[in-house]
């Protein structure tokens, strides 16, 4: 891959040096470090033209609202963009002393964008998309555990119930949804002011949807434990800013989205392991299952708990 990218850069007369693989993620995107214009920058390679174009367009639209990486060079015809290097990723720097501050900055960035009327269009986070995502649990997590007929029957029973819960969620205000708002996609930018000290990446799949979604992603993260005290404080701070939101509806919807998201993540991580041989994500399954059960054990969701709990293989978790 490095030789391919080097050749593309040279063909486009881009001066660079010290190109090194940095990381991949759950998508086909790949990230590299390189020296470009006398600075250590990020090269993102994504051979899905539609995704890359969405990323570029959203970066331009978000640039004056929240902190997103500047695009130094757009070579989308070669599947390449060269980006500002944010460096200090939350997941790499977070510890007990700075944890509260980092989460507060992440919340401030959400509040800032939720408090604005955006002048650019995004697709809506529809009920069908929500159900399609939670269905990944049945289609991939259960893939090796049940036959197709059983899976179809269980999925149908779940969806007939869950559909009614989702209806209430859509009564909440609709806002910009990052859709993957967690510690691996957030950066601490010490030299900036206010909410701009929280940098964002991986926002190309953004939609407009219920205001609770990204807060759930942040506070019930598959990759890291978030103290209950911090979770409660962030919820209270958010509701303190938007006092017209019905608190009971918000908290109900928070649990609905937590259940939906944890089912989605279990499905995605299982698919990555089974289909794409990216088994590294399996290490997060026990945490996600624990979070899922915590939310299902809220009284209103007992009917869903009855369906999901027997499917989770909790006894096999360490």
**Please, which contacts does 36-43 make with residues 24 or more away whose CB atoms are closer than 8 Å?**
36/72, 36/73, 36/82, 37/72, 39/85, 40/85, 41/72, 41/82, 41/83, 41/84, 41/85, 42/69, 42/82, 42/83, 42/84, 42/85, 42/86, 43/5, 43/19, 43/80, 43/81, 43/82, 43/83
| Domain termination residue (choose one: 83, 109, 127) | 83
Q: Tens digits of per-residue pLDDT, 162-214?
A: 999 999 999 999 999 999 999 999 999 999 999 999 999 999 999 999 999 99
Q: Tens digits of per-residue pLDDT, 45-61?
A: 999 999 999 999 999 99
| 166 and 64 within one domain | no
Tokens 């962030």 belong to 234
| 198 and 50 within one domain | no
What pLDDT was estimated at residue 317?
A: 65
Residue 29's pLDDT band, with cuts at 50, 70 and 90, is confident
Range(s) of the domain holding residue 48: 2-83
Pick from 46, 33, 42, 32: nearest CA to 79: 46
Greater confidence, 318 or 187?
187
| 150 and 25 within one domain | no
Residue 316's pLDDT band, with cuts at 50, 70 and 90, is low
Share of the chain above pLDDT 70, in %: 97
Residue 32's pLDDT band, with cuts at 50, 70 and 90, is very high
Q: Tens digits of per-residue pLDDT, 138-148?
A: 999 999 888 99
| 51 and 197 within one domain | no
Which CATH number do you get for residue 27? 3.30.200.20
| 160 and 306 within one domain | yes
Count of domains forming the chain: 2
| 109 and 79 within one domain | no
| 171 and 311 within one domain | yes
Residue 119's pLDDT band, with cuts at 50, 70 and 90, is confident
């Amino acid at each position: 891959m490095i030789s391919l990218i080097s050749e593309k850069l040279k063909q486009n007369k881009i001066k660079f040096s010290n190109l090194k693989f940095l990381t991949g993620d759950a998508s086909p995107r790949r990230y590299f470090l390189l020296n470009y214009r006398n600075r250590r920058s990020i090269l993102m390679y994504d051979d899905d033209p539609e995704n890359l174009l969405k990323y570029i367009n959203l970066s331009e639209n978000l640039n004056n609202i929240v902190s997103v990486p500047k695009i130094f060079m757009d070579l989308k015809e070669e599947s390449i963009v060269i980006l500002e290097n944010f460096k200090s990723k939350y997941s790499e720097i977070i510890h007990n002393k700075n944890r509260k501050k980092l989460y507060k900055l992440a919340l401030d960035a959400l509040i800032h964008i939720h408090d604005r009327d955006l002048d650019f269009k995004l697709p809506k986070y529809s009920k069908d998309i929500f159900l399609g995502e939670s269905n990944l649990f049945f289609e991939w997590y259960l893939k090796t555990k049940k036959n197709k007929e059983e899976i179809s029957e269980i999925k149908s029973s779940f969806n007939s119930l869950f559909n009614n819960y989702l209806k209430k969620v859509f009564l909440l205000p609709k806002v910009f949804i990052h859709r993957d708002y967690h510690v691996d996609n957030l950066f601490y930018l010490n030299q900036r002011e206010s909410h701009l000290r929280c940098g964002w990446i991986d926002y190309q799949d953004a939609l407009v949807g219920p205001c609770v979604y990204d807060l759930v992603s942040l506070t019930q993260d598959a990759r890291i434990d978030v103290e209950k005290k911090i979770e409660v404080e962030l919820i209270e701070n958010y509701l303190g800013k938007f006092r017209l939101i019905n608190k009971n509806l918000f908290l109900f919807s928070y649990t609905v989205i937590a259940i939906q998201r944890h089912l989605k993540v279990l499905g995605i991580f299982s698919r990555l392991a089974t289909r794409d041989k990216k088994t590294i994500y399996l290490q997060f399954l026990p945490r996600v299952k624990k979070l899922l059960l915590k939310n299902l054990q809220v009284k209103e969701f007992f009917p869903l708990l009855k369906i999901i709990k027997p499917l989770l293989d909790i006894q096999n978790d360490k």
